[in-house]
Amino acid sequence: MKKNEIRGYLYILIGTTLWGVSSVVAKSLFIIGLPPAELVQIRLTLATFTLLLILILFDRKRIIISLKDLPYFLVLGFVGVAGVQFTYYYTISKIHVGPAVLIQYLAPIWIALYAFIFQKEPLTKGKMAALLLAVLGCYFTVGGYRMDLLRLNRIGIVSGLISSLFFSFYALYGEKGLKKYDPWTLILYGFGFGAVFYWILISPMKVITDGYPFKIWMAFLYIAIFSTLIPFGLYFKGIERIRATRASITATWEPFVAGMTAYFVLGEILFPLQVLGGIGVIAAIVLLQMAKEKTAPSTPIEIRQPPHPSPLPRGERDGVRGMSK
């Protein structure tokens, strides 16, 4: 294995580890009574302003967009980002962290179905096996074999499935923008308009006047920086070195980290069949990505269309499909 590849795997593993841990931090905030929508607003606001400051200081050209593309970014932020962020956090607030993260990892399966129905991509035996394995894995992960668990988690399960659909939209819709704009430009405006959406629902002044203690604000900053900006940056760096397919497979480390962290920090326990279901979901994703690699391997570098040419890898464009946060 080349040195560059080793670095790529390390970047992905560190980034997804941060995502996994941050899910438990969010769950801890929900336990003490913080509403999911308010945490989404705080996360998007802090992440947007932090990224904006970084780009102003170091790379201003990535802030520039065409005015005719504003409707695109509005939809990306108001529907894609706002939808996936709330449903993801709402799911975590209702069910255990491990299953919540695993359910959202069904997104690549929905994307494969979309590609088959609307883009006429062939549904190979490998993809069909992955779909079946994902459905069975999700069934066991959410506790479908126990009616008491299923009744208890019904709202959380439905929210998790909706979250995976929102993320699928975010990935497919975001892919269009990445043909023209740098990923950090999409993150800036997607998160920015997503924050505006929640400002409409929840006044930013409410967050300030609620009088959260210093320790809670530190948790907010952790989620904004270590759950958003740093993991996304590491994920992109990893894709530069190992391509989107391998990055997506490596990213399945996140549910394991989330589940183990929740076990040790929150005392959440998964039943053996739920663990088996989680392994099934991860195996389905690996199988699906392997099928993609055989039919459409990612190229190392792709120059985006004007007006924003950038020597960033095509993997960043494809890699959106493997990101859950």
- The domain segmentation of the chain, as residue ranges, is 3-322
What is the percent of the chain with per-residue pLDDT over 70, rounded to a whole number? 82
Task: Give me the amino acid identity at 188.
Answer: L
Mean pLDDT, residues 118-142 taken together: 76
Q: Residue 60 and residue 36: Cα distance in Å, rounded?
A: 32
Q: What is the pLDDT of residue 244?
A: 58
Mean pLDDT of 231-252: 71
Nearest to 273 by CA among 164, 162, 143: 143
Question: Which pair of tokens denotes residue 27?
Answer: 């769950």
> What is the model's pLDDT at position 199?
93
What sections of the chain are H helices per DSSP?
Answer: 3-31, 36-58, 70-75, 82-94, 97-104, 107-118, 125-141, 147-152, 154-177, 183-201, 204-209, 214-224, 230-250, 253-265, 272-295, 314-319
The top-scoring range by mean pLDDT among 74-88, 112-126, 176-190, 287-301 is: 74-88
pLDDT for 18 equals 93
Percent of the chain with pLDDT over 90: 33
Taking residues 110-124, report their average pLDDT: 78
Whether the per-residue pLDDT at 25 is higher than 70: the answer is yes
pLDDT at 150: 57
pLDDT at 58 over 90: yes
**For residue range 170-188, what is the model confidence (pLDDT) as tens digits?**
878 887 887 788 888 988 9
Predicted confidence at residue 148, as pLDDT, reads 63
- Average confidence (pLDDT) over 252-257: 80
Average pLDDT, the chain: 80
The pLDDT of residue 99 is: 82
Give the chain's radius of gyration (CA, Å).
19
Name the pTM for this structure. Answer: 0.79
More confident: 157 or 311: 157
Mean pLDDT calculated for residue range 34-61: 94
Average the pLDDT over 134-156 and give the result: 71
pLDDT of residue 282 exceeding 70, the answer is yes
Which of the two residues, 210 and 79, has the higher pLDDT score? 79
More confident residue, 252 or 294: 252
Residue 117: predicted pLDDT: 85
Q: How far apart are CA 155 and CA 106, in angstroms?
A: 17
Cβ(265)–Cβ(25) under 8 Å? no
